[in-house]
Amino acid sequence: MLAFDHIGITTREPKPDENWIEQSRCWVTNPRNHPESIEFLRYEPDSQVPERVKNNPHIAFRVDRLEPHIEGQEIIIPPFVVAGFVEAVFIWKYDTVFEYMRYLKDSWFDK
């Protein structure tokens, strides 16, 4: 399975209903609540997320397994689990940041 999930766009402005991701030191919005499936990301100054991810939009796909989509690809952020609901990985492909997401449960954070 490969299904579009969202587009991620970095912002400097706080957005309503942001969620905190501690390991990324980043605030994110729920793309399911946006009419165009946009996730806004707002990084804290001490975030260790690579600049390539912070400074470029990303396209995210929902997958059943991460491995087939990252094999042989340039991994920017290795697989990690966000708030117990999704396993995600960021790669660089076609001069673009891609995120592949394997949902562990069908919710965004605990909402």
Give the global pTM: 0.92
Could you list the residue range(s) of the whole structural domain that residue 44 is in?
2-103
Question: In angstroms, rounded to a whole number, what is the distance separating the alpha carbons of residues 111 and 92?
Answer: 30
Q: How many domains is the chain built from?
A: 1
Q: Which residue in this structure is represented by tokens 């990303």?
A: 58
pLDDT at 96 > cutoff 80: yes
Q: Does residue 110 lie within any of the structural domains? A: no
- With respect to residue 34, please indicate whether it lies within any of the assigned structural domains: yes
One-letter amino acid for residue 3 of the chain: A
pLDDT digits (tens, 9 = 90+) for 31-90: 999 999 999 999 999 999 999 999 999 999 999 999 999 999 999 999 999 888 899 999
